Amino acid sequence: MTEQQTPALNQIGESMTDNSFIARIFTEARTHKAFLDRPVEESTLRQLYETAKFAPSASNLCPMRISFVTSAEAKQTVIAAAADGNKPKVESAPVVAIIAHDSRFHNHIGTLAPHMDADAYAAQDASRLEAVAIENSWLQAGFLISAARALGLDCGPMSGFSKQAIDDAFYAGSSWKSDFLMNIGYGDKAQLHPRGARLSFEQACEIL
């Protein structure tokens, strides 16, 4: 598969303007807390990343990192770090993605943004670099959710866990730091609550 291809659209066979595709990604998609006992293949996780990696980030710096937790042993570590109310959600999901950022994302500037002065950028204040990493990882993660939905997967992003416990268990000695958890699989629609309200355009927007 070449980078010019769009795996999600090839698989679904719909254009971005089709109402059914918009419904799949946004208007009918839900955040799931319970998942069916159905595995997610490694090839699907690879396709998910290959789709989502084209998300925008500042100067194409791409600081988001993902740990796809699938083994029973690693999953128990995540469950132990999760808040009590989130433990059943993690246990239900066939995959738990630890969405993280790389605090040394600037090491890849030569490849990702060769137009930039890598040394000058890396010399910025550490707190500024950390803010860039976190902000852009969250931006990329939003596209990751959309990509997952496009591929027919359901997601349950959540906070409510000990970042320190996750970082100690999975990222000790590395420059990766956890941001949030995202359960991935095939959602159990029977376990969904009625959809919550959203603000209207007039409440949430203005045109200046």
The region of weakest confidence among 18-27, 38-47, 58-67, 160-169 is 18-27
Is the pLDDT reported for residue 111 higher than 90?
Answer: yes
Provide the 8-state DSSP code for 24. Answer: I
Q: What is the pLDDT of residues 48-89, one digit of tens each?
A: 999 999 999 999 999 999 999 999 999 999 999 999 999 999
Q: Is the pLDDT of residue 206 over 90?
A: yes
Q: Give me the pLDDT at residue 2, please.
A: 44
Mean pLDDT of 29-40: 98
The predicted model gives 152-178 an average pLDDT of 98
Instruction: Residue 156: name the closest of 73, 86, 65 by CA.
Output: 86
Total domain count for the chain?
1
Q: pLDDT of 87-100, one tens digit each?
A: 999 999 999 999 99
| C-alpha dihedral sign at 165, 90, 196, 40 | positive
**Residue 111 sits in a domain of what CATH number?**
3.40.109.10
Q: Quote the domain boundaries for residue 65.
A: 32-189
pLDDT value for 18? 80
Does a structural domain hold residue 141?
yes
In a domain, 170, yes or no: yes
Q: Is residue 15 part of a domain?
A: no
Single pTM value for the model: 0.90
Check whether 3 has a pLDDT greater than 80: no
Interval 4-18: pLDDT, tens? 444 444 554 545 568
Checking if the pLDDT of 41 tops 70, the result is yes
- Contact between 169 and 77 under an 8 Å Cβ cutoff? The reply is yes
Alpha-carbon distances, residue 112 vs 53, 97, 174 (angstroms): 12, 24, 20
Burial zone of 8 (CB within 10 Å; 0-12 exposed, 13-18 middle, 19+ buried): buried
Report if residue 16 sits inside a domain. Answer: no
pLDDT in tens, 138-147: 999 999 999 9
With contact defined as beta carbons under 8 Å apart, do 178 and 166 qualify? yes
* Residue 197, in any domain of the structure: no
pLDDT value at residue 16: 54
Kindly state the average pLDDT of the residues 114-133.
97
